[in-house]
Amino acid sequence: MTEPGDLPTRVHDLLGEAIRIYHDNPAARGWLYRQAERFAGPLRLAVTGTPGAGKSTLVSALVGQGVALSTDGEAGHRTWYSDGPQPRAQVRPLQRAPYELPLHRDDHGLRLIGVPGDALEILVEWPSRSLRHTHLLDTPGLTAADAGWQTAAELWQEVDAVLFLSRTLSAADLGRVPPVRGGWAAATAALHVIAVLSRADETVGGRVDAMLAAKQIARRRRREPDVTVMCQDALAVSGLVGYAARTLRQDEFDAVATLGTLPRPELEPYLLSVDRFRAAGDAVALPADRRERLLGRLGLTGIRLATTLVRSGAHDTAALAEALQRHSGLAELQAAVADLFSARRDVLKSRVALLAVEQIAHREPGPQSAYLLGQVERVVAGAHEFEELRLLAALRTRRAGLPGELAMEARRLAGGDGPTVFERLGVPPESPIEHLWEHAGAAAERWRHEAQQADPAGRRAAQVVLQSCEAMLQQLTEGVPTT
Ligand SMILES: Nc1nc2c(ncn2[C@@H]2O[C@H](COP(=O)(O)OP(=O)(O)OP(=O)(O)O)[C@@H](O)[C@H]2O)c(=O)[nH]1
Ligand SMILES: [Mg+2]
């Protein structure tokens, strides 16, 4: 690392410099101020993907409340969700001033009436802890011949991270991800994306083992080249079951428990299809309206899963909710978001801010544009943080070419268990500096040796870890605060 300071510090300084350069250009200056504000703000996470992939449902599942917004107009707009003291919604039409609309809540979520056809964006504020550090964006689906290609590309530059939902993870679906032009932007394009095989409970025609099959498909796909070039990881999730899990009520647990009291051979024929379940009559000891509600909340696969979980020990609402959240894939997705996005917020934001500086230099050419572009290049060239992020993703998906023990150490040294020197070295906080020196030195020695090994993937991974160790040693030399 030849540049002083870490990536976010350098990017922060560069944004300041760009603002000074465009001081006499109010439009560019205002735009850059907005970028600087975003840089300092919460993580901006988009949930996007194919039409009907379950994007809005997943947003509710991530918030843990029914926030999915329905409107009476064309659903061409996108919706931002952020935390606020009380529920409110603001509409941003094309070329008109934003204004507020009253927000209604019903069993299905939130509803806005009177949304104009030219609404570009709706900003929903909703009191929720999960929206405090992450702002969520729900988007219209990307179709194969998306007229909004440009819009999609712009959207991808406006957010720090993306969940891309597809019901199949097919090459055709992934082809809807807007292309990124070459250079460093393309090289870092996968860092902020997780692919989600959505509506996982419906995989293989909603068979009994649908969730398992979906998870297997995601695990296989995440090692295939067309997936690895576009995302950090691929996971299977049932947003429907995940949402039900996070909002499970006592009466719903009771209904599942009632089904669970029936002997398995008696219940199973009724769980073979939605029609059979609906037509079960008295045989399943639940009245038709409760059966229907349960179907709406969990789907047939979810009901099957929930009864199995109750039978195998989920004895109350909390236990069933926890187990459903795990089996739905939601818990794993939340962990991946925490690991790959939230914990790396500053690095992801740095990427977006660098793109913004590059963009303004191209869009508003002036005497200092070449200088700004050169600065972006310098910052990117010294950004070991991007390499670390790529390595952590490779380790998660077992693509790094390192055996078990080494992989765990690589993860820790690259900051996967936390970014401080203490966490990276796996030593207690407040350890004396000599101790840190010793550990970092020994680690560097070990990884210098690993970096000579034959397997190219493993060698590349080891080089990144070695660089992390050397960066720590340099940090210790400079006496930079280590917490
Ligand atoms: N079985 C099942 N159904 C789901 C799941 N997620 C969503 N759905 C259903 O699929 C339909 C579409 O869900 P949405 O969440 O509105 O999907 P979307 O991607 O936001 O749709 P658009 O915004 O219209 O592109 C609804 O009927 C949902 O109840 C899921 O995980 N499992
Ligand atoms: Mg939607």
Pocket of ligand 1, beta carbon within 6 A: 51-57, 140-141, 199, 201-202, 238-240, 299
C-alpha dihedral over 379, 384, 385, 387, to 10 degrees?
A: 120
Rounded CA-CA distance 452/150 in Å is 45
Closest ligand, as measured to the CA of 237: 1
Residue extent(s) of CATH 1.10.287 domains in the chain? 400-478
Q: How far is the CA of 57 from the centre of ligand 2 (A)?
A: 7
Q: Which residues of 439-448 are buried (b: 16+ CB within 10 A; e: fewer)?
A: bbeebbebbe
Q: How far is the CA of 344 from the centre of ligand 1 (A)?
A: 29
Q: How far is the CA of 322 from the centre of ligand 2 (A)?
A: 26
Q: How far is the CA of 77 from the centre of ligand 2 (A)?
A: 10
Query: Atom 17, ligand 1: which residue's CA is nearest?
Result: 54
- Helix crossing, 404-413 with 456-478: angle to 10°? 40
Structure tokens that stand for 442 in this block:
């020994």
> Which region holds residue 426: left if phi is over 0, alpha if psi is between -120 and 50, else beta?
left
Could you tell me how many residues make up the chain?
Answer: 483
Mark the residues whose beta carbon lies below 5 A from ion ligand 2.
Answer: 55-56
Q: Which atom of ligand 1 lies at the shortest distance from residue 202's CA?
A: 1
Low-confidence ranges of the chain (pLDDT < 50): 1-3, 147
CB 11 within 8 A of CB 353: yes
Closest ligand, as measured to the CA of 50: 1
Rounded CA-CA distance 428/277 in Å is 56
Mutate to test the pocket of ligand 1, among 48, 197, 199 (most ligand atoms within 8 A of CB): 199
CB 470 within 8 A of CB 424: no
SS3 215: helix
Q: How far is the CA of 48 from the centre of ligand 2 (A)?
A: 9
Rounded CA-CA distance 160/40 in Å is 12
Mutate to test the pocket of ligand 1, among 240, 298, 328 (most ligand atoms within 8 A of CB): 240
Rounded CA-CA distance 314/307 in Å is 9
Mutate to test the pocket of ligand 1, among 56, 79, 122, 139 (most ligand atoms within 8 A of CB): 56
Rounded CA-CA distance 483/473 in Å is 15
Closest ligand, as measured to the CA of 48: 1
CB 425 within 8 A of CB 440: yes
Mutate to test the pocket of ligand 1, among 56, 57, 166 (most ligand atoms within 8 A of CB): 57
**Residues sharing a CB contact under 8 Å with residue 66, sequence separation 6 or more, in sequence order:** 60, 105, 107, 108, 109, 110, 243, 247
| pLDDT tens digits, 172-195 | 998 888 877 777 887 788 889 999
CA angle 330, 335, 341 (to 5 degrees): 115
Q: Output the CA–CA distances (angstroms, integers) from residue 269 to 152, 204, 272, 288, 404, in the order listed.
A: 45, 19, 6, 17, 44
| pLDDT tens digits, 118-154 | 888 999 999 999 999 999 999 988 876 654 556 667 7
Q: How far is the CA of 120 from the centre of ligand 2 (A)?
A: 15
Closest ligand, as measured to the CA of 52: 1
Query: Atom 24, ligand 1: which residue's CA is nearest?
Result: 52
Query: Atom 7, ligand 1: which residue's CA is nearest?
Result: 54
Query: Atom 28, ligand 1: which residue's CA is nearest?
Result: 54
Q: Which atom of ligand 1 lies at the shortest distance from residue 138's CA?
A: 20
Nearest residue to 18 via CA among 1, 40, 35: 35
Q: Which atom of ligand 1 lies at the shortest distance from residue 239's CA?
A: 31
Nearest residue to 115 via CA among 138, 90, 95, 137: 90
CATH 3.40.50 fits 400-478, yes or no: no
In this prediction, residue 149 carries a pLDDT of 57
Q: Which atom of ligand 1 lies at the shortest distance from residue 51's CA?
A: 25
In this prediction, residue 144 carries a pLDDT of 67
Q: How far is the CA of 288 from the centre of ligand 2 (A)?
A: 29
CB 325 within 8 A of CB 249: no
Q: Output the CA–CA distances (angstroms, integers) from residue 386 to 290, 348, 393, in the order listed.
A: 51, 9, 11
Neighbours of 361 (CB within 10 A): 23
Q: How far is the CA of 14 from the centre of ligand 2 (A)?
A: 37
CB 78 within 8 A of CB 66: no
SS3 310: helix
